[in-house]
Structure 1
């Protein structure tokens, strides 16, 4: 999203996180801007029963955790590396200075936050009013549009696990599996070597 060279100019440092490493914890105050160089990060919570709810999944060149940074509020979720990841982190004061001195970057950040807010609003409505098939397709189509899923001869490879789809839509994994099979029968999705394509 923001050029690595620009972030480094303002003091950003690269850090490597092994798979399943906690980058920051729910309830902590934000101190840095984070951007992924390689890997994948999820922001998640657990309910009282220990069930995970994924707030968002982020990929290469994407940033995460900015809203609390601007509001100086505690993180509402933890950030955890889904796979081995290299992440740039920039101290909050340096980040704010960079935004003040680079208007085009500020606009890019605003657009990014607006897109996430829009997605959350759409998915909140989906989860409260629509059937599983509709929810799953909405999430997949959002992923294709915003997460740059790769396209090949089979279509777009959906880079979400069944568990992640469940956690992002509020559905049980069993329901997700049944729903994907039903959508395959209707010709809406393809399953090739256990991978889902749209």
Structure 2
């Protein structure tokens, strides 16, 4: 989102995290702006029974945890390293000053948050469907359109069955059955447990 050179010039520092490491907790006070350089981060709510409600998979170049900067609230969700990560962090007061000095970057943030909000509306709409295959199809179609979480070289879906369940609210067993049904109908392929979509896109909703 923000050029790395500009972040470093304003005092940002690199930080490395291990798989499963919590970067910040839901309800915590925001003190840093975060931008992912390498790795993957789960942005989620942790339930008392151990379940996760997955809101977003953060990929390199993405920002996360920015909402408190604009409403002075606390973190609405937790950020957890999915794999080993390298990220940049910048103190909030410096970040806000940077936005004031670079209106174009401020506009990019507004557009990014609007995109995330649009995704949540889309997700709310598709999870109201009764057919798990339709839910998964709509989600994959959206990700493919946005070029997110689908490998642009091999068309592999870069979400696990558990992450699909956490994102849609379906049981993981339901996700597994639905994907197997989709494979039988030649809407996806499964190779060594990995899900691949056709080069020309996944088939439409039945």
Q: TM-score range by the shorter chain?
A: over 0.9
What does 1:51-90 align with in structure 2 at a 5 Å threshold?
51-90=51-90
> Which range moves more in the overlay, 21-30 or 143-152?
143-152
For 1:147, the equivalent position in structure 2 comes to 148
For 2:100, the equivalent position in structure 1 comes to 100
| d(CA) in 1 for partners of 2:165, 2:10 | 39
For 2:37, the equivalent position in structure 1 comes to 37
For 1:176, the equivalent position in structure 2 comes to 175
Using the size of structure 2 for normalisation, the TM-score is 0.90
- Aligned: 1:127 with 2:127: yes
RMSD over aligned CA atoms reads 1.4
| d(CA) in 2 for partners of 1:146, 1:30 | 29
For 1:193, the equivalent position in structure 2 comes to 192
Deviations 1:76-110 (A, max 9, x none): 21110000000101111111111111122111111
| d(CA) in 1 for partners of 2:167, 2:51 | 12
Deviation at 1:48, TM superposition (A): 3.6
Question: Does the CA contact (< 8 Å) of 2:36 and 2:59 recur in 1?
Answer: yes
> Which range moves more in the overlay, 52-61 or 112-121?
52-61
Deviations 1:122-172 (A, max 9, x none): 1012112342112112222232224263234xx511100110011001111
SS in 2 for 1:76: coil
Question: Does the CA contact (< 8 Å) of 2:30 and 2:69 recur in 1?
Answer: yes
Q: Which ranges in structure 1 are unaligned for 5 or more consecutive residues?
A: none
Q: Which ranges in structure 2 are unaligned for 5 or more consecutive residues?
A: 198-206
Deviation at 1:187, TM superposition (A): 1.5
| d(CA) in 2 for partners of 1:191, 1:95 | 44
Using the size of structure 1 for normalisation, the TM-score is 0.93
Moved over 4 A (4+): none
Richer in helix (by share)? 1
Structure 1 146/65 Cα, relative in aligned 2: closer, same or farther at 3 Å?
farther
